[in-house]
């Protein structure tokens, strides 16, 4: 999803500082064997400017990227999508994004 979002953001002239995507999946036994039965995609997008308009636009673009993502389309189960947008600066290479809470918009 990061590459898809990068293309969507670039095409939309949307400025962002950083993006980290966490994924979580649950395996379950089906008639065909073990498969993913639930997949969570949790993008955490950092934007440079705080405004409700920019945050709403960020969520919209994240949702668009999720809908276009080749990996999401390749899964047998529809991923559950919980984007989060924060205001801040880019992290250093290898550093985790700052977390200001565990709430996710959806």
Measured distance CA(52)–CA(49) in Å, rounded: 10
pTM: 0.70
Give the burial class of 104: count Cβ atoms within 10 A of its Cβ; 0-12 exposed, 13-18 middle, 19 or more buried.
middle
Q: Which domains does the chain have, with CATH numbers?
A: 2-87 (3.30.300.20)
Cα separations in angstroms, 79 against 3, 14, 52, 72, 103: 17, 25, 26, 7, 18
* Phi, psi for residue 86 in degrees, rounded to 5: -130, 160
Helix 52-68, helix 2-11: angle, nearest 10: 120
Q: What is the pLDDT of residues 6-65, one digit of tens each?
A: 999 999 999 999 999 998 999 999 888 898 888 899 999 999 988 999 999 999 999 999
Who wins on pLDDT, 12 or 104? 12
């Amino acid at each position: 999803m990061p590459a898809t979002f990068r293309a969507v953001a670039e095409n939309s002239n949307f400025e962002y500082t950083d993006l980290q995507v966490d994924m979580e999946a649950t395996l379950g036994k089906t008639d065909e064997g073990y498969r993913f039965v639930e997949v969570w995609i949790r993008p955490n997008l950092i934007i440079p400017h705080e405004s409700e308009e920019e945050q709403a636009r960020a969520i919209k673009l994240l949702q668009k990227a999720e809908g276009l993502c080749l990996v999401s389309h390749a899964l047998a189960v529809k991923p559950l999508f919980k984007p989060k947008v924060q205001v801040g600066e880019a992290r250093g290479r290898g550093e985790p994004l700052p977390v200001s809470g565990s709430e996710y918009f959806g």
